[in-house]
C-alpha cells in the first residue's frame, strides 16, 4: 500500500526505514526539524527525510491525485487553518475507499481544558474565507485559555483537588496575538478544540450538509490524551435527515462536565 504521513515530526508512525511505502510531508526540511527538536532532547535520529515541504499550496502540491491508499496525520488537524479544505485535499489524494486516520488531542486532558469546543459553523467560515492562518480571535483564545494542571500541560483527568492555572494573563495574550498578526509571524496554536463526541457532532453536521468527503467509521479515545479517528473516502452526499446530533451533543456536554469535576445533569 502507498500512503502519506503528514507532520510525522520526530516520531513517524510509518517510517520508511521499516519498509513503509510512505510519502513524508512536513512543514520543514529534515535539517530544519533536527535543529528545531534538538532543544527538546528527543531522539532526532528518528526524523526522516521530508519528501514534500508544505508551502502556501498545502496538500494541493502533492501528486498523483487519487494515488494513495491511506493518509495519517497525528496531532495535525487542530493546527490547520481550514479543516474542511484539509479534508477535501486529503480526499483528492486518496483512492476511492482510501483511509484517513487522525490522532487528535482530547481537550479534556491537556492545556485546552477550559477552551470552548469548536463548531461546524466556525469551520465553514474558515473554509469560505479559504483561511491560510488563524485569526486574531483564535490566537487570543488559544493563549488566554491555556492552562496547566498541577504544573503539567497534559494530565489524566481533572478533579476538585487539582490546581489549574492560566499561563497568560488576558492582556499578555492579546498583546502576543496582536504582535503575531501585525508581524505576519506564524504563531502555532490549537486553532480547533475537540472532545471525541464534539468532533463527531461536527462531522455529522458537515456530512448532512454534503461538505465532508469521508464516512467516519470510528472515533475512539486512546485512554490518555488523544482520540483516534478512522474515516473512509466517499463522495459527499447531503443528508437532510442526518444523525442523532442531539444525543451526540448531550454526550459532548457530559464529557466536558466530568472533565472539570461537575456531575452531569
Q: What is the CATH number of the domain that holds 147?
A: 3.40.50
Strands 147-149 and 164-166, sheet pairing: antiparallel
The answer to whether residue 143 is domain-embedded is yes
Residue 219 predicted with pLDDT over 90: yes
Q: What is the mean pLDDT of residues 48-72?
A: 93
Does the residue 120 lie in any domain? Answer: yes
- The model carries a pTM of 0.93
Dihedral, CA of residue 208, residue 212, residue 218 and residue 220, to nearest 10: -100
pLDDT higher than threshold 80 for residue 158? no
Q: Quote the crossing angle between the two packed helices 83-93 and 120-128, to the nearest 10°.
A: 70
pLDDT digits over 1-55, tens only?
999 999 999 999 999 989 999 999 999 999 999 999 999 889 999 999 999 999 8
CB pairs under 8 A, 24+ apart, for 59-65? 59/6, 59/25, 59/86, 59/89, 59/90, 59/92, 59/93, 60/89, 60/92, 62/4, 62/23, 62/25, 62/93, 65/92, 65/93
Instruction: Assess if residue 166 is contained within a domain.
Output: yes
- Domain ranges, residue 83: 55-259
CB 50 within 8 A of CB 26: yes
184/56 Cα distance (integer angstroms)? 14
Structural domains in the chain (count): 1
Does residue 14 belong to any structural domain of this protein? no
Closest C-alpha to 128, from 88, 85, 86, 190: 85
Output the pLDDT for position 241. 65
Predicted pLDDT of residue 196: 96
% the chain with pLDDT above 90: 78
9 occurs within a structural domain: no
In a domain, 21, yes or no: no
Q: Which residues pair with 53 in a beta bridge?
A: 26
Query: How is residue 116 written as a grid cell?
Result: 470552548
Asked if the structure places residue 10 within a domain, the reply is: no
- Give CA–CA dist 263/265, Å, rounded: 7
CA separation for the pair 197, 216 (Å, rounded): 12
Amino acid at each position: 500500500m502507498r500512503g502519506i504521513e503528514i507532520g510525522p515530526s520526530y516520531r513517524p508512525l510509518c517510517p520508511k526505514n521499516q519498509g513503509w511505502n510512505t510519502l513524508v510531508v512536513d512543514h520543514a526540511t529534515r535539517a530544519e526539524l533536527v535543529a528545531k527538536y534538538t532543544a527538546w532532547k528527543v531522539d532526532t535520529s528518528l526524523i526522516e527525510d521530508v519528501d514534500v515541504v508544505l508551502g502556501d499550496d498545502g496538500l494541493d502540491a502533492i501528486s498523483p491525485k487519487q494515488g494513495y491508499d491511506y493518509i495519517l496525520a497525528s496531532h495535525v488537524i487542530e493546527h490547520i487553518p481550514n479543516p474542511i479544505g484539509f479534508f477535501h485535499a486529503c480526499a483528492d489524494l486518496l483512492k476511492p475507499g482510501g483511509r484517513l486516520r487522525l490522532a487528535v488531542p482530547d481537550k479534556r486532558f491537556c492545556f485546552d481544558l477550559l477552551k470552548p469546543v469548536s463548531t461546524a459553523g466556525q469551520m465553514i467560515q474558515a473554509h469560505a474565507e479559504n483561511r491560510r492562518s488563524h485569526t486574531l480571535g483564535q490566537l487570543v483564545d488559544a493563549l488566554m485559555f491555556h492552562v496547566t494542571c498541577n504544573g503539567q500541560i497534559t494530565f489524566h483527568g481533572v478533579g476538585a483537588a487539582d490546581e489549574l492555572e492560566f499561563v497568560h494573563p488576558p492582556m499578555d495574550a492579546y498583546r502576543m496575538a496582536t504582535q503575531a498578526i501585525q508581524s505576519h509571524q506564524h504563531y502555532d496554536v490549537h486553532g480547533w478544540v475537540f472532545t471525541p463526541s464534539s468532533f463527531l457532532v461536527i462531522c455529522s453536521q458537515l456530512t448532512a450538509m454534503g461538505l465532508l468527503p469521508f464516512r467516519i467509521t470510528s472515533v475512539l479515545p486512546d485512554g490518555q490524551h488523544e482520540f483516534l479517528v478512522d474515516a473512509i473516502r466517499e463522495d459527499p452526499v447531503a443528508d437532510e435527515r442526518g444523525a442523532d446530533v442531539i444525543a451526540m451533543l448531550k454526550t459532548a456536554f457530559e464529557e466536558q462536565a466530568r472533565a472539570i469535576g461537575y456531575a452531569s445533569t
